[in-house]
Chains A and B, each alone.
Chain A
């Protein structure tokens, strides 16, 4: 059974193995397929719910979509090193640039001020091991500007205020919705998930955000928050449950897999547990 641990609690050996597995997926080309899939999802997502011309797709459900996306990535890591699990980053606790997450033995730190280039750690461009290939502009180096785009990461009190919301999601099931899903995603209210992307900056603030390995640790924590929400609100389930135009209902299949439904991804314990 895979156990997802808090990144702050990883041993030196666990960090080394995680980094090595990520670098191997980069080397063999599989990593960039994940970046490409995410960007295609971003670009085809319609937040208005309006469906226009050919090629338009349903707005994809934030929580189950990313749960499956992370499972795929974690399985890819484990195909390299079966001991590796995705760590999570509790950004409400490890909330400064001095967190061990950003040390040179793990993800490396923030970018330099002139061009945002990350200068240390295993993913710095100077290593030659981390070319940014799937990109939206000409820059091929990993960039960050920790704490620049927005000054503060969410606090635990802000997290708790969102976890207390008893309804999973509400019509119109998009960025204007009230409820847990949209407040966690961050289009409304105190803004949790979106704000973390902006706080990291660089590629993490763009549609090709998985170019930064912290993407996985951020989303692993979002998954944990979903699990925590489920424990707090055992009677509340995924909605909508059927017959909703332009929205992925509980039993609709999701792209790009087409063989998995939100209903198949509501319980994470079939795949992994958390260390808390």
Chain B
């Protein structure tokens, strides 16, 4: 996908996830692009956890006027989960806001645990 931006690639991956039902993982966004962008960014991930697709990877700036992900985006079944990185490097999400975990993947898994199968709602974008 060298001819499209990371953001577009990511949106495409999310759209695929939204329509696929527990499908096998498809190509995750290019981690090499993330490494160029921010050498501290965690790796991308894409897996099915407890029957739900969780994905994470670098997201380009712009478009996120309401939250802080440190340039990293996480999705549960294609719906973006708001995540934040703490100053000590740990992560929290909007559904597990007071219990830091080590990685964005752990935050995504904690969200799936918390949701007990419920759909995540998209967070406000303005």
| Chain A contact residues, CB within 8 Å of chain B | 39-40, 42-50, 52-56, 115-116, 135-139, 149-150, 172, 174-176, 186-187, 193-195, 197-198, 205-209
Which residues of chain B are within 8 angstroms of A40 by Cβ–Cβ distance? 66, 124
A43 touches B86 (CB 8 A): no
- Cα distance A49–B99 in the bound complex, in angstroms: 19
Which residues of chain A are within 8 angstroms of B96 by Cβ–Cβ distance? 205-206
B38 to chain A, nearest CB (A): 11
A119 to chain B, nearest CB (A): 16
Q: Would you call the interface of chain B mostly helix, strand, loop, or mixed? A: loop
B69: nearest chain-A partner, CB-CB: A52
The contact size tier of chain B is 20 to 34
Other CB < 8 Å A-B pairs besides A55-B65, A137-B120, 19 of them? A39-B94, A40-B66, A42-B94, A43-B123, A44-B66, A45-B84, A52-B70, A52-B71, A115-B116, A135-B121, A137-B118, A137-B119, A150-B99, A172-B87, A174-B86, A194-B99, A197-B97, A205-B99, A206-B96
Interface centre among A47, A56, A135, A195 (most CB of B within 10 A): A47
- The verdict on B3 contacting chain A, using a C-beta distance below 8 Å, is no
Partner of B86, one of A55, A135, A175, A193: A175
B119 touches A187 (CB 8 A): no
A54 touches B65 (CB 8 A): yes
Which B41-74 residues have a C-beta within 8 angstroms of A? 61-62, 64-68, 70-71
22 A-B pairs with C-beta separation under 8 A = A42-B97, A44-B67, A52-B61, A53-B62, A56-B68, A136-B121, A137-B115, A138-B119, A175-B86, A175-B100, A176-B86, A176-B87, A187-B86, A187-B100, A193-B98, A194-B98, A197-B97, A198-B99, A205-B95, A205-B96, A206-B97, A207-B97
Which residues of chain B are within 8 angstroms of A39 by Cβ–Cβ distance? 94
A197 touches B61 (CB 8 A): no
A40 to chain B, nearest CB (A): 7
Which residues of chain A are within 8 angstroms of B67 by Cβ–Cβ distance? 43-44
Tell me whether A176 and B88 are in contact in the complex, defined as CB-CB below 8 angstroms, given that A42-B97, A207-B82, A207-B94 are known contacts: yes
- Cα distance A209–B95 in the bound complex, in angstroms: 9
B70 touches A186 (CB 8 A): no
B71: nearest chain-A partner, CB-CB: A52
B94 touches A47 (CB 8 A): no
B52 to chain A, nearest CB (A): 12
Contact with A along B91-126 (1 / 0, CB 8 A): 000111111100000000000001110111101100
- Cα distance A232–B124 in the bound complex, in angstroms: 42
B70: nearest chain-A partner, CB-CB: A48
A137 touches B88 (CB 8 A): no
B113 to chain A, nearest CB (A): 10
